């Protein structure tokens, strides 16, 4: 048997069967795609652009193309021939791709399959952008609550251009008995990130429930913006207002910005004199809280993080508020944005944003917000860093301000957009206001504002239907009831009182 095998092997060599050598060239196809990324120019709705992808065989053997498939956005359409297609060495095939924008941003992929042994599947990113006007109306609803017949309640709403081209607002139209609005003249052209406000007034002429709506007409292709309005007309007598305690988190990451301009001296003194009311309220809420203060342009915090374990809270607050002012000292949203952007590992505010904690931003200033970027753009960037954050402000009343403070425009709109609390810097009762801000920072509400000025002697408070004979007090400066122990999630607070017909 061994001799036969040797004979056969020898015979193969004798008859000239080919034996490959290590240095023989390997003949293979090689697919090259140009460009590597297909980028379209921004397009308006209804317009289109067509670019070409070139598929070339730069190998030494024939290449078979099995197909070109679109993945992702339907805004891209490859106009490919029937497959399979065979390309000889040096040959190429051009595939047109059409882009028609329907949204602001489009991402897609061309999947190219062939018998190239190294890259049988190649992906080509396809990117496009729509020049599309977009309008954000915030907030999307407003409940005026009980409002006395013959009295007036008012709420402000913002119109913000959030697209990448100008949006034109043609008109605002309101419906519903008792509701009226004032605002800018139309047509109103808003460039990207520009914003304007309008005000809705509720003046009921009869008792009972009222509902209405503000319709917003614009060239936003969606064009479905509206604000739902509700309110209740009441006559002198008993008023009942209910409040539901929503979902909360016990952890709070609190950022505090204080305007360090010269006119803020008395306000900073008031803040320091009452800062312990802020920390005491947080401690009473059994909150795992931490606070950092920033006044410098960079957003890096002053002093150390402050929390319930800080030994001398007053001295820590004093040291933190004693920071330097920079060019942005009257641009609180810019400083807050910078602060939240610097919380990653190794950055100056590392450890501030904790998983599962509620982020609360508190801004204190006697001037309007003066950042170069629009407030809406800065708020959007902050929400990217800390989703679900709330922004509160202590600033001049909008729209008129007061003798010691200009209207806090910009700050006011930021609080509306994020569900925060806006308080007047002109009031003297800083202690109560800081307690309210502390309560709001954790999401656990202990202050319940009333829509009408009550007879204080007539107030009664109920928790889930049971009257509270103690554990609460009325705060005239806030026209609010404060509970010593915040309700649990899902509990309802009802406040009953007599209204004598005087508008609050």
- pTM for the structure as a whole: 0.55
Q: How far apart are the first and last CA of the chain?
A: 115
The four Cα atoms 215, 103, 196, 147 give a dihedral, to 10 degrees, of 40
On the question of a common fold for 31-129 and 251-444, the answer reads no
Q: Are 414 and 444 in contact (CB under 8 A)?
A: no
What are 11's two structure tokens?
């015979």
Identify the residue whose tokens are 């202590």: 394
Q: Are 296 and 326 in contact (CB under 8 A)?
A: yes
The architecture CATH gives domain 251-444: 3-Layer(aba) Sandwich (3.40)
The reported pLDDT for the residue numbered 169 is 94
The reported pLDDT for the residue numbered 406 is 92
Short-list 320, 330, 404, 325, CA closest to 370: 330
Query: What is the distance between the alpha carbons of residues 468 and 78, in angstroms, rounded to a whole number?
Result: 70
Instruction: Please identify every stretch of the chain with a pLDDT value under 50, giving residue numbers as ranges.
Output: 1-18
pLDDT in tens, 4-59: 333 333 444 444 444 555 566 789 999 999 999 999 999 988 889 999 999 999 99
The reported pLDDT for the residue numbered 19 is 52
Q: Cα–chain-centroid distance for residue 288?
A: 24
CATH class held by domain 31-129: mainly beta
Tell me the fold of 135-235: Immunoglobulin-like (2.60.40)
Q: Residue 488 contacts by C-beta under 8 Å, 6 or more apart in sequence?
A: 245
H helical segments located in 259-351 = 265-284, 313-321, 332-340
pLDDT in tens, 474-495: 988 778 898 888 788 788 999 9
Q: Where are the domains of the chain?
A: 31-129, 135-235, 251-444
Q: How many CB atoms lie within 10 A of CB 73?
A: 18
Query: What is the distance between the alpha carbons of residues 259 and 262, in angstroms, rounded to a whole number?
Result: 9
Query: What is the distance between the alpha carbons of residues 384 and 401, in angstroms, rounded to a whole number?
Result: 31
The reported pLDDT for the residue numbered 213 is 93
What are 346's two structure tokens?
């190794």
> Do the strands 179-182 and 167-175 form a parallel or antiparallel pair, or are they unpaired?
unpaired
What are 286's two structure tokens?
């059994």
Identify the residue whose tokens are 């010691």: 404
The reported pLDDT for the residue numbered 23 is 61
């Amino acid at each position: 048997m061994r001799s036969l095998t040797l004979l056969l092997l020898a015979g193969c060599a004798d008859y000239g069967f080919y034996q490959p050598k290590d240095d023989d060239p390997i003949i293979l196809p090689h697919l090259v795609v140009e460009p590597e990324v297909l980028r379209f120019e921004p397009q308006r709705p209804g317009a289109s652009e067509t670019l070409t992808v070139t598929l070339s065989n730069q190998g030494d053997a024939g290449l078979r193309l099995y197909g070109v498939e679109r993945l992702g956005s339907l805004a891209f359409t490859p106009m490919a021939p029937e497959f399979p297609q065979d390309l000889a060495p040096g040959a190429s095939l051009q595939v047109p791709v059409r882009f028609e924008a329907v949204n602001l941003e489009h991402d897609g992929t061309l999947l190219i399959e062939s018998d190239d042994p190294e890259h049988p599947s190649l992906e080509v990113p396809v990117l496009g952008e729509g020049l599309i006007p977009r309008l954000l109306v915030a907030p999307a609803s407003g409940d005026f609550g009980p409002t006395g017949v013959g009295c007036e309640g008012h709420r402000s709403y913002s119109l913000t251009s959030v697209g990448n081209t100008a949006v034109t607002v043609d008109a605002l139209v309101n419906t519903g008995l008792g509701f009226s609005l004032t605002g800018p003249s139309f047509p109103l052209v808003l460039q990207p990130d520009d914003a304007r406000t309008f005000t809705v007034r509720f003046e009921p002429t009869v008792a009972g429930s009222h509902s209405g709506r503000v319709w917003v007409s614009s060239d936003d292709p969606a064009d479905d913006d509206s604000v739902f309005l509700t309110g209740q007309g009441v006559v002198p007598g008993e008023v009942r207002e209910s409040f539901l305690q929503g979902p909360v988190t016990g952890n709070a990451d609190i950022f505090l910005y204080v305007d360090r301009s010269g006119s803020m001296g008395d306000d900073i003194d008031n803040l320091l004199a009452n800062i312990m009311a802020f920390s005491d309220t947080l401690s009473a809420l059994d909150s795992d809280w931490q606070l950092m203060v920033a006044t410098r342009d960079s957003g890096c915090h002053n002093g150390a993080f402050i929390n319930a374990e800080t030994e001398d809270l007053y001295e820590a607050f004093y040291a933190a508020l004693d920071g330097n002012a920079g060019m942005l000292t009257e641009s609180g949203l810019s400083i807050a944005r910078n602060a939240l952007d610097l919380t990653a590992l190794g950055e100056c505010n590392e450890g501030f944003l904790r998983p599962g904690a509620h982020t609360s931003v508190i801004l204190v200033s006697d001037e309007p917000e003066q950042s170069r970027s629009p407030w809406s753009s800065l708020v959007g960037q902050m929400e990217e860093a800390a989703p679900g954050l709330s922004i509160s402000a202590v600033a001049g009343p909008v729209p008129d301000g007061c003798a010691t403070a200009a209207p806090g425009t910009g700050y006011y709109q930021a609080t509306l957009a994020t569900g925060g609390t806006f308080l007047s810097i002109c009031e003297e009762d800083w202690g109560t206001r800081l307690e309210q801000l502390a309560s709001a920072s954790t999401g656990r509400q202990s202050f319940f504002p009333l829509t009408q000025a009550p007879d204080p002697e007539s107030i009664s408070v109920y928790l889930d239907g049971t009257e509270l004979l103690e554990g609460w007090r009325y705060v005239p400066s806030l026209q609010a009831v404060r509970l010593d122990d915040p309700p649990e999630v899902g509990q309802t607070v009802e406040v009953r009182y007599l209204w004598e017909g005087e508008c609050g």
